[in-house]
Structures are given as structure tokens and as C-alpha cells.
Amino acid sequence: MLSTPLFRTVLAERLSRIRGVRADPPDVVVCAGTVAAVSLLARALRATGHTAIGVEDPCWIRLRPSVEAAGLRLVPLPVDDRGRVVSALADQPDVRAVLTTPAHQFPTGVVMSPDRRTELLDFARARAGVIVEDDYDAEFRYDRRPVGTLQAMAPDLVAYVGSTSKILSPALRLGWLVVPEHLATAIAELRPSVDLGVSVLEQLAMAQLMRTGTLDRHLRSTRARYGRRLETLVAAVREHLPSVRIGGIAAGLHVVARLPPGCPEDEVVAEAAAQGIKVLGISQYAVGPRSPAPALVLGYASLGERAIREGVAELATIEQVHRPPG
Amino acid sequence: MLSTPLFRTVLAERLSRIRGVRADPPDVVVCAGTVAAVSLLARALRATGHTAIGVEDPCWIRLRPSVEAAGLRLVPLPVDDRGRVVSALADQPDVRAVLTTPAHQFPTGVVMSPDRRTELLDFARARAGVIVEDDYDAEFRYDRRPVGTLQAMAPDLVAYVGSTSKILSPALRLGWLVVPEHLATAIAELRPSVDLGVSVLEQLAMAQLMRTGTLDRHLRSTRARYGRRLETLVAAVREHLPSVRIGGIAAGLHVVARLPPGCPEDEVVAEAAAQGIKVLGISQYAVGPRSPAPALVLGYASLGERAIREGVAELATIEQVHRPPG
């Protein structure tokens, strides 16, 4: 297996320092990104008797094929303003695993409340289950330090997943996985069936960026830049789209913009695309049959402040046409 | 999916030019190396009704977990000096797929004879099956041009697998797969469950090395160097190990050194390791219960000529102790 001890050592130290993650370097499983990590984990869950997994609804839909290909049934869990609702699983005793984004729910942008965190860990403990924590963008919180990880609270119950996609680039395919001890054997047995490891060049390059402080400097700089872009976006929405509400906390690289009730999300998305503005409707991220309230998912990390202001002004002309009367 | 059109275009052109492989760029599936390619392919075979696959015995054992995890039964096919023996499958009609290394069988080093190539394609055609061609080291043939690919003869029957491991480095995790049309849908459906693609940096770097001719220059240089190392190894074995026979053609980055019958392979390997000489016994590569005739697999690509001569002289002192009397 092509996994360098150096990268795992530097990464374990960093995860501990930044996110409180508890992992010895040899226990860090290096994978080709978050989808690969969840794919491996889903297969390990299936191999250890799981048949289903609760997923936030809406959620990052690119994880769906990995979970389904492993033979796990997806059980959608609604998300409200305190995070996903685990009580929806009360009458489904076969669900013993939940995939979640507690630091910054994707795509709604809410942070999981302390009582929901406790409830979720209690659920996993009661069912001898596991929580899969996708910590995809926690390093981008603009108003305060990010909330800690579930893994730090209960490493025996939580499988932790992270990647370089937000902190550096998705063009690297580099992610990691730290699993509870009871899953370690299944993961170790399945790992060689996936590939022989991840690019050694990228592991060594990331180790270098991490241990020299270069990554932290880069993050300080991008955090400031993305924070300004978020402020610009929020201000532009207030100015041009007064009937639209921005949801979620000041974090991450995207926001959800709630459209007025009855506004046809798909038409707004299509007309925006025709104007050269790439936005996605939140219905793209739905898991269950329930259609979410109309909203746009707006990524702002790669846009300058002027492009953000112009894009929102353009969106406003489209939204006005489709705003229900009254 | 993070796969750059540029890399697939340059790669398809190169595979056509060097190996006669027939593939349109959009049909090239980019994977994290050979294990990842075979893993995907094995899952596609399982999804399209295959339950078993014939594999050469001995073979590169690192592919075994991928195939088994996909739920395919491994059926060992003996290898003789003309390649693997497909007639062993006559009484097993459920086997409709064969994984093979026709240009240079791993590890025995034999090249598949023309009649065996025809026989293999006839087998696949008769059973509506598929041949998986692992073209792992075909660019290293020292005495003549490498034999062509099976895929060039029958793209409708052959899935072609290659990687950068021998032509540049296994530290890159970059491989490719070209499948017959009847498997394309299953592959396309399964691909997103594996990962979101392979490092874009490595794809762009490889595209650059390929299209500028840098890779070809590198291969001309390494081919000359490895050819000299092989000659040195063969000469040293003749001098120091007269009872040992080097098998296979003048190709690749390793040879099989057949020990005298009755020589205890495992003891020779263990004592060599104790002397700091890393060799593997051919029994490491066995698939079926049949124990292969004692032999050592000797990799020479990363050793200088002096180290090769010294290593063989050292091996000779060990082999002499274990040579059966007579």
C-alpha cells in the first residue's frame, strides 16, 4: 500500500490540533478523496452487518452512488435549523449508521446544535452503531472558531472523513478516514481491493505544506478572502433580492438562498444558466421524495466581489419575473 | 468526474500508436492504477452476470482482493511456455471471463503464443465473454518490438488495462481502462461510486510528458538501461548459478529464476532476506492449491549492474547449500 508514514504523521498531528480528532498515525486511512473514503466505509459497514444508513436530506448527492453500490439502503433524515432530525429513525431499528455534516450541514448551511449532537451520539451508542462525520469544510468559519468534531467527543462511535478539496483543491484527489476500532479490521481487509494507495507525490507535497505552516498561511489568506466574498454576497442579496433569505451560518464556500414560497426554482436555475450564471437548485440535493422549499445553492469561493455583485443583480431580474404576486 | 479531456486524447493517441489499442478518447476510463481498473471491471462483470473469472496461475497476486471483493470466483489457469492454458475451462461453462498478461506473463515471463491468442479470443467469442488484458510492462521488450495487444485484434471482446507504474513510476497512481461496448454502461454507472476521479495534476503532467515526446525519450533511455541490467543478471546467473534456469523472454523489469527441482524455495528466500537481498519466491504468486516448481522472482530495474552481480554471487552461496545432492 502506497501510503507514506510521513503524511499520516503530519496529518494526524494537524487533525488533532485543528479539529481535536483522536487518531494515531498508523490508524489514518488515506483515500482518493471523500467519495473514495465513504465508498470504503460503506462497504465495511455492509461487511459488518449494516443494511441501511441515515443520510441528511438534502445532502451532498455525490456520496449517494458509493453508499448504494455498497448495498446500503439510504434513509433520508430531514434537516431543520438545528441539524438533521435523528428521531425520524425511532421506528427503524435496522438503521444503525448515520452520515452527517455536523460542523456545517451541506447544503443548508446550519450547524448541528449541542442537544442534537448528544442525541446523535446517544443514538449510535444505543444501537451499537456508527456516525460517519463528513468534516468537509470546517476550516472555513468566518465569525468564530468552528465547532469541534463529533469524533473528538466519541472516537469509539464516529468515523471521521476529510479531504483536501476545500482546504487546497479538488484537483488533488486526497482524503482520509479515521474509523472506530470495531471497523478497523473490515477497513484493513477491504482497502487492498480498492487500489494500491494514493499518489505518493501528493501525499509528500501535502505533508510538506502542512508541516511547514504553508497550508495554515494559505488558509488564513483564503479564509479572509472567502469571508469578504460571503459578506459581499449577503449584502448584494439584501439589496437586490429582498424577498430571498440567506440560510445557515457564516461558514463554508456556499450559501443557500431561500426563494419566496411558490417561486419555481427550476425555472430560475434554467434562466440563470441561460444568462451564464451557474447556480444549482436545492432540489438537486434532495434524497427522499419530499420536495424541499425552493432555494438556490450559491457557490462564491471562486468569484471576485464584483462578479458576485453583478451575478446577484442579474439573478434579481430573473427572480422578479417569477416572484408570486401578493 | 475529474478526468481531463486532454489526458484522454493524448493517451488514446499514444495507446493506438504504441500498442494498436482502438479507443476513442471519451471511451478511455481513467482510474487510480491497475488495481483500481480491475476492481471497477470486476464489479462491472459481476453486475452483468459474471460469477467467475479465470486467472493465470501464477499471477500478480495484488489483483486478487479486487476480484474477490467484487464477488467473482477465481479459477486458476495453469501457465506453460506458450501462456495460460484456456482448455482448463472446457468443463466450466460458468467461466466467461479471463484475466491475462499476454505480452509478458507475470511472473513467468513467457509470451502468449499466436495459437493461444486465437484460442483465447475464440473462447471469449463462443461464451459471449470478455478477456481482461493487463498490458502492464509491454513497453519493455529488449530483443524486438513487443507483440501487439489482444484488444487490437478484438476490441469487442477485450478490456484493456494499463498504468504508469512501469513506464514512469508506481508513485503516481494513474491507470486506464478501455472496455468493450457491452460493458460501457455498467462501467459508467459504477464509476461514480468509486471516487470522483484521479489527480488532475497527474493527468495534466502525464499528458504533457506524452505529447512532448519526453516520455518516449525517457523510455528509450530506461529501456537501454534495463536491457543492460537484464544482460548483467543473466550473465551473472550463468556464471554463479549454473543449476538455475532463467525463464521467459527478454522483456519487463523482472525474471523468474528456476531453482533445481527439490530446492527449498522458502528457505532460499528467507536466507537471502537475512543477507539483505530481497527476492520473492514464485509460490507467493500461486492462485490454486498446486505448488509451482521452485523459482525466485528477481526484480532488476532499480539495481545497478554491480549490485546485480554482487547479489547473484551472494545468492549462489545460499543456493549451493540447499542444492539437492546428485
Element (H, E) at B84: strand B83-84
Instruction: Tell me how far apart the terminal alpha carbons of chain B are, to the nearest angstrom.
Output: 63
The residue-averaged pLDDT of A84-105 equals 94
Residue A170 pLDDT more than 70?
yes
Report residue A299 CA to chain centroid gap: 14
Structural contact between residues B11 and B28, judged by C-beta atoms closer than 8 angstroms: yes
pLDDT bracket for residue A88 (50, 70, 90): confident
From chain B, the residues in CB contact with A174 under 8 A are 199
Structural contact between residues A19 and A11, judged by C-beta atoms closer than 8 angstroms: no
User: Residues of chain A with pLDDT > 90: what percent?
Assistant: 91
Residue A84 pLDDT more than 90?
no
Biggest CA-to-CA distance, chain B: 63
> Is A39 in the B-facing interface, judged by CB distances under 8 Å?
yes
Instruction: Write the burial class of residue B67 (CB in 10 Å: 0-12 exposed, 13-18 middle, 19+ buried).
Output: buried
Chain-chain contact of A196 with B170 (C-beta, under 8 angstroms): yes
Beta-carbon contacts below 8 Å between A and B: 101
In this structure, what C-alpha cell is assigned to residue B63? 489483483
pLDDT of residue A326: 60
How far is the C-alpha of A44 from the C-alpha of A28, rounded, in Å?
Answer: 15
Chain-chain contact of A32 with B65 (C-beta, under 8 angstroms): no
The ipTM estimated for the assembled molecules is: 0.92
pLDDT tens per residue, range A252-307: 999 999 999 999 999 999 999 999 999 999 999 999 888 889 999 999 999 999 99
How far is the C-alpha of B59 from the C-alpha of B314, rounded, in Å?
Answer: 27
pLDDT tens per residue, range B262-275: 999 999 999 999 99
The residue-averaged pLDDT of A203-213 equals 97
Q: What are phi and psi of B44, to 5 degrees?
A: -65, -40
Structural contact between residues A61 and A297, judged by C-beta atoms closer than 8 angstroms: no
Q: CA–CA distance from A44 to each of A28, A65, A132, A307, B84 (Å)?
A: 15, 15, 12, 44, 34
pLDDT of residue B325: 72
Structural contact between residues B95 and B53, judged by C-beta atoms closer than 8 angstroms: yes
Question: B70 CA to chain A: closest CA distance, Å?
Answer: 9
Average pLDDT, chain A: 95
Residue A1 pLDDT more than 80?
no
User: CA-CA-CA-CA torsion for B267, B272, B274, B276, nearest 10 degrees?
Assistant: -160
How far is the C-alpha of B283 from the C-alpha of B109, rounded, in Å?
Answer: 15
In this structure, what C-alpha cell is assigned to residue B130? 470478455
- Suggest the residue from B38, B173, B202, B206 to mutate for an interface test with chain A (most A CBs closer than 10 A): B173
> Is B156 in the A-facing interface, judged by CB distances under 8 Å?
no
Nearest residue, CB atoms, A33 vs list B69, B171, B196: B196
pLDDT tens per residue, range A69-79: 999 999 999 99
Query: Which pTM does this prediction carry?
Result: 0.94
Cell 457557490 sits at which residue? A299
Positions of chain B with pLDDT lower than 50, given as ranges: none
How far is the C-alpha of A124 from the C-alpha of A184, rounded, in Å?
Answer: 17
From chain B, the residues in CB contact with A196 under 8 A are 33, 35-36, 62, 170, 173
